Amino acid sequence: MPRDNIPPSATKKLQQFFTKTLDTNNDGLVNWTDFEAAIESIVSKEEAAKNARLKVLRKRLEQHFQKYFWDLCAVGDANKDGNIDLDEWLDVMNDIIGGLKDKNEFPEWYEGLHRALFRANEFLDERSVLKDEFANMLISWDIDESSAEKAYDYITEHGKKRMDYNLFSEFMKKFFLNETPKHPLNLGLD
């Protein structure tokens, strides 16, 4: 399948995103084990067992991540082995980027993942996320702090705009569409 929506300059960034944020055990595949590890890093079973609010948060994360994983497999698992390899993921991203170029929106199933990731964080006010809170969220995705802070400054215009879910979603769209090398939107992945 040709990946005509992914410019050659963005391939490395997307490969790095796959490796750092999705393939948590670095086996070259994304499967349910990777999602379980991500959930554990956000809210551990131990923390959830001690705190009712965290228990609810963890349960919601599990539900959202299960839905996203099965949706991802439905659209991307070409060989139906229950795993998403890098080539399958790049094919999915080609379609997602094509949709962003045409309509400037993510498919509903993919938007749900971003919403779940954003809401899983402990922000003082999710309508006005602070730079260090944003950086901590991206650090949990294995993005370095300096790159996260530069991206925050860029997307918020150095704090002139409030970082809420809508701006975060806009940031993710721009991340996938940006073709400029070494741009703050690339999160240091290029």
* Residue ranges covered by each domain of the chain: 15-179
Helices 165-177 and 86-103 pack at an angle, to 10 degrees, of 110
**What residues contact 15, with CB distance under 8 A and at least 6 apart?**
86, 90
∠ CA 129-132-138, rounded to 5°:
85
**Distance of alpha carbon 26 from alpha carbon 18, whole angstroms:** 10
**Distance of alpha carbon 13 from alpha carbon 25, whole angstroms:** 19
Sign of CA dihedral 116, 118, 120, 126: negative
Q: Which CATH class is domain 15-179?
A: mainly alpha
∠ CA 56-168-19, rounded to 5°:
80
Q: What is the pTM of this model?
A: 0.87
Name residue, tokens 């399958």: 88
118-147, pLDDT tens digit by residue? 877 767 788 889 999 999 888 888 899 999
pLDDT in tens, the chain (190 residues): 579 999 888 899 999 999 988 898 999 999 999 989 988 888 899 999 999 988 998 898 899 889 989 999 999 999 999 999 999 999 999 999 999 999 999 998 899 878 877 877 767 788 889 999 999 888 888 899 999 999 999 999 999 999 999 999 999 999 999 999 999 999 999 8
Tell me the sheet residues that pair with 84: 30
**Distance of alpha carbon 158 from alpha carbon 145, whole angstroms:** 16
DSSP of 108-150: HHHHHHHHHHHHTS--S-TTS--HHHHHHHHHTTT--HHHHHH
